Amino acid sequence: AWTIRSKLPLSTSKSATIHFTTKKKKKKALNEPVILTINVNPVERKERITLLGANLDSKLGFTVRVHTVASRARQMPGIVQTISKGLEPAALLQLHIVPVLPLLEHRSPLWLPEGASAQATLETIQRQAAYSVYCRTSQVLAFSRETS
């Protein structure tokens, strides 16, 4: 109706529906599914969707988002280690901060209230990066002491 009037083409293969409800009503709501259609084609119902880059689940929790951010951020120190051989400690620290911090802070006001578990996951990544910088720095200091 309004999609035809607005000349808005919608694709059922790229569309999905999600049902937000309380825990008490969830089983009843899932037993009586509402089938939405686009041009007589049913739209798939999912438990998780991605909307404008934000991962949403039917419980409106952010655990999926936290795990996605954590997996991306965990890859960064390995990449930094391979490209940073021979750098000064300050430059190495910046290489850890610049790519990882924006990942951890992006949309954090939304999911940070989720709980201590999400915060602990992200703090672990920061500790790993700090430890990596510390190990490289202590090796440089030990080497400079041996050569002087």
Which residue blocks in 9-115 are alpha helix, DSSP H?
Answer: 23-31, 63-83, 89-105, 108-111
- The token duo for 1 is 């109706």
As a dihedral over the C-alpha atoms of residue 125, residue 129, residue 134, residue 140, rounded to 10 degrees, the angle is: 160
pTM: 0.54
pLDDT tens digits, residue range 53-67? 777 777 777 777 777
pLDDT tens digits, residue range 117-126? 777 777 787 7
Contact 40, 17 (CB under 8 A): no
